[in-house]
Chain A
Amino acid sequence: MAIDPSAVGRVYPPQPYEVSREKVREFAEAIGDPNPVYVDTGMAGEYGHDDVVAPPTFVMIPVMRGFDTLMADLGIEFARVVHVDQRFTYSRPLLVGDGLETTTTLDALRQVAGNDLLTIRSDVRAADEHVCTSQATLLIRPEEKDDV
């Protein structure tokens, strides 16, 4: 069943996310990145950062919290979702200790060959300071027909 077109423009309540030292370390290890700036405060300081920073794509974790809210609202099952494209625009890197709030907006909805294509904007802020904006396109495959 197609997604209700009146959902376009819907803004979801800000989702909180706290950037923790161990999560940044775990993420850097998971992508196999040995850069000390993700674990060593002294090295981060040499670049002028107050604490260790997160790898650029780490921001997808708080962004996905917002996706979860949107998908629950629209009744979308996770297994039907295909990530089509992703853009991040950064004002600054995510820092350990950041208390982030991510506001998620359904910017656009169109149908292509029976699939719904959603454009989702996520504004990630820390204490009223812009940190990152994410723009993603998700393709939602139609639900399986009951022909089994």
Chain B
Amino acid sequence: MSEPLAVGQVVADEQYRITRENLVRYAGASGDFNPIHWNDRVAKAVGLPGVLAHGMLTMALAGRLLTDWVGDPAAVVEYSVRFSRPVVVPDDADGVAVHVTATVTEVRDDGLVGVELAVRVDEQKVLTQARALARPPKNAS
């Protein structure tokens, strides 16, 4: 019934918001209490433009797009990113919007699919070389 996946096909696209509240929750959940992720004074003192999102939180959001697409999180075999640009999170109600697009880059004989994740804030990439290898959902293979 389903169409086979093709290289270049966009399989998922979503926008996520990160607010200061999200950073505090992520700090607690992950155990990463580096103050540059919650304290303006410290962030400024070390020369940053402001409080930054944890790179691992941005990686987790892009990973969420991936697991929402594949269904079973166990279908993700490999996942890697490069943190190329800091994500500044303003101290307001809206925070910052992170836009993630997943595109098929490879369809392998063993059933695995290569996916490239474009992760952008204001059209600028904040993660580069964000790639995953996964078993695609059954209705898309």
Contact = CB atoms under 8 A, between A and B. Distances in A.
B80 interface: yes
Contact of B82 (A60, A64, A78, A84): A84
B31 interface: yes
Given A64-B31, A79-B34, A83-B56, A30 B80 contact: no
14 contacts: A30-B28, A30-B30, A30-B57, A33-B60, A38-B73, A53-B73, A55-B60, A55-B73, A64-B31, A87-B78, A88-B78, A89-B77, A89-B78, A90-B77
B30 A56 contact: no
Interface residues of A, number: 35
B108 interface: no
Interface of B: 16, 22, 25-26, 28-32, 34-36, 42, 46, 55-57, 59-61, 63-64, 66-68, 71-74, 76-83, 129
B73 A93 contact: yes
B81 A85 contact: yes
Interface string A18-55: 00000100110111110101100000000101000111
Given A32-B22, A88-B80, A57 B74 contact: no
Interface string A46-88: 0101000111110011001000000000000011011111111
Contact of A56 (B34, B36, B55, B63): B63
A53 B72 CA distance: 9
Contacts of B68: 35
A27 B59 CA distance: 13
A28 to B, nearest CB: 9
A140 to B, nearest CB: 13
Contact of A31 (B42, B55, B64, B76): B64
